[in-house]
Every structure is written in structure tokens, then in C-alpha cells.
Amino acid sequence: MAGGQTTIETAAGRSLTVYDTGDPAGAPIVFHHGTPSSGRPYAQHVELAERGGVRLVSYDRAGYGDSTRHAGRAVVDVAADIEHVANALGLERFATWGHSGGGPHALACAALMPGRVTAVASVAGVAPHGAEGLDWLEGMGEANVEEFGASLAGEATLRPALDAEAAGMRGVTGEQLVEAMRTIISEADVAVLRGPLGDHLASGFGRALDRGVDGWVDDDLAFTQPWGFEIAAIQAPALVVQGGQDLMVPRSHGDWLAASIPGAEAWLTADEGHLTLFEAPSVERIHKWLLAQT
């Protein structure tokens, strides 16, 4: 491990929990976790990074775990946090990617730090709400349609709904998540939850929500509001990865992003789900693509 877990104070006086793993002398890649989740890295991803010459940096987004909440944040606000993290860790230039709810945050960093972000990947990531030509909710499973419906109604409606959902997610195993998430996982993703990655994801839910649902609330509100930057402003090489069996973020989101990010490369597959794209073989391909752009 490069530096393990540390706490970094932001310029705004907030603190972020940061994980610095992989090859200390490797090419830096900053990872943005999903919603809700923790940035604590999956052991198999750390092993990939160590073997592949990657310094893998991740973090708990504002409001998750011990990271201080940034109430009212927009997606674009993450760029200032990551710039501060990069400065503190001495990362002059870096690649970045995000899975699921982390996708928009990775794109924000690419848009706001054009000379510093060498490449970006959105993996199973959502597109902007209200994007022209995209029916944002179409193809999402029942639980996600209800969750984002509550988000559009505002925090007063969203928070109690997420509080109730979080209560049922604390202390569960990956196997138990299968039933808890049944309306938003395809059969491809069921297999993932029943493997070691499922237990890692379940543990991440617990860590992320240990002190409440602030991060989850703020993510959902940010996704359904203007992101604060233009997708077309992204100048770095970009990759969009999306699966046709994804019931959390339908492939149509990936289609829209691939068509809207200038020069984006797209891996749009028929048989991948949402969680399958977080398994080690997919992550290894993503890391190799990011490194090849630098």
C-alpha cells in the first residue's frame, strides 16, 4: 500500500477520508465511488493496481463515512475537493474514473481540470437529468424510480425514504443484498452479489452510512439538479462503459454520454450489468485504457 488511509483537510475546512493504495511509484488513478458507497478500495482492485503499476487513490465523498458533509453541493463541487487531494498527495497529473454515482464526479474533474486530468472514464454512470433526447428514468428498476422520484420532490421527502432504506442495509451480507435490491439488479448482477465482491459492496454500504445518509441525500439531489459544468467542455480522452443488463443506470445513459462527450470511446455491451462492471477483469481493462492515454 502506498499510504493507506489518511484524512485530508480541504481549503473549505472540511475533511475527506482518502485511501492511497497500489504501487506507490505507479501512475496515479483517482477513483470515485458509487451511490451510496465508500471509497475504501476492493482488495482485488488493490492487487491489480500493485501488479499494473497504478497508484490507486480513492476517497469517501462529502457526507459519507467520516468525510464532512457539504450540504447543497452540486456535482461540479467535487473538482475542488479532488484538486485539494491531488495537491496534498503530490499528484501533478492523474487519470480518473467513477462507477455508477461516481461517473458524473469523474467527468466533473475532467471538465474542470483540463490540464491535469489525463484521461477519464464513466462506468455505469448516470447522464445529466433533463438531458435532451434522454428519458432519464426509462429502464430503471422500481426502487431507483421511487428513489429519484423522492429526490425530485426534495430533501424533505427524500431523507426519510433513504433513512428507511439504510436501516435495512446495515450489517447485511452480499447474499442478503440480493433480496434487498431485487428490483434493480439483473441476473448478471445477482451472481456478483453472491461472490466476494458482494460482501465488499455490503461492507461499503455499512461504512458509508454509519453516521447517517447525508452523502446519499446530497448525491441524489445533485444528480437531479444542474451539474454545474458542460459535458462538451471535457477535453481529455474519455471512455464510456455501460451494460445492457443494467437496471440501476440503463444503457441509454451510456449511449447519451458517448454521443455527447467530445471524441469519447464507448464500450457499450449487451450482456454486462451494473455491478459486473466493477469486477476485477473489467477494472483491469479500464485501468489499462486510462494508462494508455497518458
Mean pLDDT per block of 10 residues along the chain (294 residues) reads 81 94 98 97 97 98 98 98 97 98 98 97 98 97 97 98 90 90 95 94 93 97 98 97 98 98 97 98 98 93
The pLDDT value given to residue 1 = 37
Q: Hey, which residues does 17 pair with through a beta bridge?
A: 7
Task: Return the SS3 of 161.
Answer: helix
Residue span of the structural domain in which 191 resides? 4-292
Count the domains in the chain.
1
> Count of residues for the chain?
294
Q: Hey, which residues does 4 pair with through a beta bridge?
A: 20
Which CATH number belongs to the domain containing residue 230 in this structure? 3.40.50.1820
Residues 6+ apart with CB under 8 A from 204: 33, 37, 38, 40
Residue whose C-alpha cell is 444503457: 251
Q: How does DSSP classify residue 20?
A: E
Closest CA to 248 of 198, 206, 189, 177: 189
Task: For residue 29, give the H/E element and its range.
Answer: strand 27-32
Round to whole Å and give the CA distance between 273 and 259. Answer: 20
The pLDDT value given to residue 3 = 59
Round to whole Å and give the CA distance between 40 and 200. Answer: 9
Residues 6+ apart with CB under 8 A from 212: none
Asked whether the beta carbons of 97 and 121 are under 8 A apart, the reply is yes
For the stretch 174-186, pLDDT in tens is 999 998 899 999 9
